């Protein structure tokens, strides 16, 4: 019955940070007070209790830095008052605790003679203080004669005493050292941040080369506004068959074509070479949305095929990265017809056999284009292997 009663103890703990006058000698203990209650919640008065204190490093179950036991007796109010550090040492020494090097967790256990019962572990949010002799840190001896002088550092706030000793109070100095402000710390950069305390490699330099992400620009540099920007390519002079933007100019949009803009030149770029032969798709059902046949529909057809997870020729084009361009697609039936019309200027085509378009005709059939006779057929089974030529727009 006694053991059950002890396991039901509730400990209310207050760890007090010493705020009285500092002395030149290391403190012999930390004030500790606990209110011990019985399992009904009433204070346990005038009762002997053995308490074991264990100091862990960094976490609740961390390495044991120090451990001691104390035999205590509650008073008429159920309180025990003691000094942590004045008990019987089991492991380590209280004087040898280095308060500044790790986070501390204190574990309290109680024993009624039949074994220790774990009463809980909590972090010591305010570490008391660690004292070092002046000789232990020769770098600071120049300040040791300054009675009451204090200085902040990343390890603690240091109070120098008249007798040559000094006290480091860890944990307080964090308030004196705010978190680093990230930014560009090079004042030669156009985005220099005078408030930054730590460089984050974001510095931009006027006229430095960069990539603005726009395929229609060249000579991209950091401009006077500290923005990466390039010069817009003048498409008005391009001609079919010209090497341009990752491939060959294959077709220039005409009025009525999707993508045509009056006063501007846009069109199709064909990869300079074929991809290996592929099946149209690994499926036997209609793909919703892949039936576009006109100029300007190939990119959407390809996206629909890829999103349906059908693989094949469209997936191969979508996966293509060529000359730093990754927006290739399988041309629609009418786009492929323009590649056929300009095949001699583009080059690299087989003059026999068929090429796949991205235009599905019905069920498991898709449009192919025979480059031998220029005939588009919509009754080619999607599991046939045909040639593939990827295109992109400019």
89 vs 69: CA distance, rounded Å: 7
284: left (phi over 0), alpha (psi -120 to 50) or beta: alpha
CB atoms within 10 A of CB 181: 12
Is residue 153 domain-shared with residue 104, that is, in the same domain? no
Q: Is residue 229 part of a domain?
A: no
Task: Write out the two tokens for 130.
Answer: 């660690």
Q: Is residue 237 part of a domain?
A: no
pLDDT tier at 237, thresholds 50, 70, 90: confident
Q: Is residue 299 part of a domain?
A: yes
Is residue 45 domain-shared with residue 123, that is, in the same domain? yes
Q: Which residues contact 237 (CB under 8 A, 6 or more apart)?
A: none
Q: Is residue 119 part of a domain?
A: yes
Tell me phi and psi for residue 336, to 5 degrees: -65, -35
Is residue 105 domain-shared with residue 141, that is, in the same domain? no
Q: Is residue 208 part of a domain?
A: no
Give the DSSP H/E element, type plus range, for residue 316.
Answer: helix 312-319
How much is the pTM?
0.44
Number of domains forming the structure of the chain: 3
Is residue 256 domain-shared with residue 157, that is, in the same domain? no
Q: Is residue 212 part of a domain?
A: no
Q: Is residue 112 part of a domain?
A: yes
Above 60 in pLDDT, residue 204?
yes
Predicted pLDDT at 137: 39
Parent domain of 302:
243-393
| Helices 298-307, 312-319: crossing angle, 10 deg rounding | 110
pLDDT in tens, 318-368: 999 999 999 999 999 999 999 999 999 999 998 788 999 999 888 788 999
User: What sign has the CA pseudo-torsion 282, 288, 294, 300?
Assistant: negative
Is residue 52 domain-shared with residue 159, that is, in the same domain? no
Is residue 290 domain-shared with residue 376, that is, in the same domain? yes
Name the one residue in this structure whose structure tokens are 């003691």: 82
Is residue 264 domain-shared with residue 328, that is, in the same domain? yes
- Domain end, chosen from 128, 152, 184, is at 128
Task: Write out the two tokens for 390.
Answer: 């990827």
50: left (phi over 0), alpha (psi -120 to 50) or beta: beta
Is residue 84 domain-shared with residue 135, that is, in the same domain? no
CB 301 within 8 A of CB 314: yes
- Domain end, chosen from 98, 128, 158, is at 128
pLDDT tier at 288, thresholds 50, 70, 90: confident
61 vs 51: CA distance, rounded Å: 18
50 vs 36: CA distance, rounded Å: 12
Is residue 171 domain-shared with residue 103, that is, in the same domain? no
CB atoms within 10 A of CB 42: 9
pLDDT in tens, 251-273: 999 999 998 888 888 999 999 99
Burial of 286 (0-12, 13-18, 19+ CB in 10 A): middle
Q: Which residues contact 204 (CB under 8 A, 6 or more apart)?
A: 184, 189, 190, 191, 210, 222, 226, 228
Q: What is the CATH number for 99? A: 2.60.40.10
Q: Is residue 115 part of a domain?
A: yes
pLDDT in tens, 44-60: 788 888 889 999 999 99
Tell me phi and psi for residue 321, to 5 degrees: -120, 115
Tell me phi and psi for residue 297, to 5 degrees: -105, -10
- Domain end, chosen from 128, 150, 185, is at 128
pLDDT in tens, 98-107: 877 888 888 8
Is residue 387 domain-shared with residue 250, that is, in the same domain? yes
Is residue 121 domain-shared with residue 71, that is, in the same domain? yes
Is residue 31 domain-shared with residue 138, that is, in the same domain? no
Name the one residue in this structure whose structure tokens are 């045909």: 386
pLDDT in tens, 149-197: 444 444 445 555 545 555 555 444 444 456 788 999 999 999 999 999 9
């Amino acid at each position: 019955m006694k053991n059950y009663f002890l396991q039901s103890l509730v400990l209310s703990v207050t760890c007090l940070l010493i705020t009285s006058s500092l002395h030149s000698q290391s403190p012999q203990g930390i004030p500790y007070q606990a209110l011990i209650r019985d399992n009904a919640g009433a204070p346990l008065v005038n009762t002997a209790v053995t308490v074991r204190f264990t100091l862990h490093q960094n976490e609740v179950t961390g390495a044991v830095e120090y451990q001691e036991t104390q035999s205590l007796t509650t008073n008429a109010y159920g309180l025990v008052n003691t000094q942590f550090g004045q008990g019987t040492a089991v492991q380590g020494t209280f004087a040898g605790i280095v308060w500044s090097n790790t986070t501390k967790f204190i574990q309290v256990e109680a024993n009624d003679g039949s074994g220790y019962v774990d009463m809980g572990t909590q972090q010591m949010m305010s570490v008391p203080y660690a004292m070092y002799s002046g000789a232990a840190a020769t770098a600071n001896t120049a300040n040791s004669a300054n009675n009451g002088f204090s200085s902040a550092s990343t390890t603690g706030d240091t109070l120098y005493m008249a007798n040559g000793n000094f006290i480091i109070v860890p944990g307080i100095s964090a308030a004196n050292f705010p978190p680093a402000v990230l930014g560009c710390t090079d004042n030669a950069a156009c985005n220099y941040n005078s408030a930054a305390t730590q460089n984050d490699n974001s510095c931009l330099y006027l006229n430095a080369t960069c990539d603005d992400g726009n395929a229609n620009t060249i000579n991209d540099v950091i401009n006077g506004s500290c923005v990466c920007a390039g010069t817009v390519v003048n498409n008005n002079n391009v001609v079919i068959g010209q090497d341009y933007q990752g491939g060959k100019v294959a077709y220039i949009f005409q009025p009525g074509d999707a993508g045509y803009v009056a006063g501007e030149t846009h069109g199709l770029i064909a990869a300079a070479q074929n991809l290996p032969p592929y099946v149209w798709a690994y499926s036997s059902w209609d793909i919703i949305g892949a039936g576009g046949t006109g100029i300007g529909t190939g990119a959407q057809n390809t996206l629909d095929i890829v999103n349906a997870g059908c693989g094949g020729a469209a997936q191969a084009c979508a996966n293509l990265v060529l000359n730093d361009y990754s927006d290739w697609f399988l041309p629609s039936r009418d786009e492929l017809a323009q590649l056929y019309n300009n095949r001699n200027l583009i080059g690299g085509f087989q003059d026999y056999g068929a090429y796949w378009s991205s235009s599905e005709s019905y069920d498991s059939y898709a449009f192919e284009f025979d480059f031998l006779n220029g005939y588009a057929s919509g009754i080619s089974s999607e599991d046939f292997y045909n040639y593939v030529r990827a295109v992109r727009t400019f």
